[in-house]
């Protein structure tokens, strides 16, 4: 069952990988467990809950060739997600504006 719809950033800019490395290192320094799964730069478009499989398949098929193009990032926000039975609680931990 599909739970999350995301769009990949392709190979990603080297700065994204540097940022990911720095976040991982900072997490280790404060005692957080490292993420062992491979990292793929992406944007989460939607989290799917109570959505029929047919509707999801139709959406994915109609958007299979989507190219979001390039765009300027105005800010970066780092969120913490706490998973609860009522759904995730997202708390912004850090915001950095583009220069």
49-91 pLDDT per residue, tens: 788 888 888 988 998 888 877 778 888 888 888 989 998 899 9
pLDDT at 76: 82
Residues in CB range of 62: below 8 A, 6 or more apart = none
Per the domain annotation, does 77 fall within a domain? no
- Tally of domains within the chain: 1
The whole-chain average pLDDT of the chain stands at 84
Residues constituting the chain? 99
Per the domain annotation, does 90 fall within a domain? no
pLDDT at 98: 77
Using a pLDDT cut of 90, give the percent of the chain over it.
11
Per the domain annotation, does 40 fall within a domain? yes
Per the domain annotation, does 92 fall within a domain? no
Per the domain annotation, does 51 fall within a domain? yes
- Judged against a pLDDT cut of 90, whether residue 13 lies above it is answered with no
Distance between CA atoms of residues 35 and 71, nearest Å: 28
- Expressed as residue numbers, the domain containing 40 is 4-70
The pLDDT of 92-99, averaged and rounded, is: 86
Per the domain annotation, does 86 fall within a domain? no
Per the domain annotation, does 14 fall within a domain? yes
- Judged against a pLDDT cut of 90, whether residue 92 lies above it is answered with yes
Q: Which tokens hold the place of 38? A: 């491979």
């Amino acid at each position: 069952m599909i739970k999350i719809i995301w769009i990949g950033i392709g190979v990603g800019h080297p700065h994204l990988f540097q940022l990911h490395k720095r976040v991982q290192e900072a997490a280790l320094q404060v005692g957080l467990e490292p993420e062992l799964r491979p990292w793929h730069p992406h944007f989460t478009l939607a989290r799917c809950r109570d959505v029929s499989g047919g509707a999801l398949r139709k959406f994915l098929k109609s958007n299979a060739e989507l190219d979001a193009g390039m765009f300027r990032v105005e800010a970066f926000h780092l969120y913490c997600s706490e998973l609860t039975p009522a759904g995730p609680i997202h708390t912004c931990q850090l915001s950095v504006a583009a220069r």
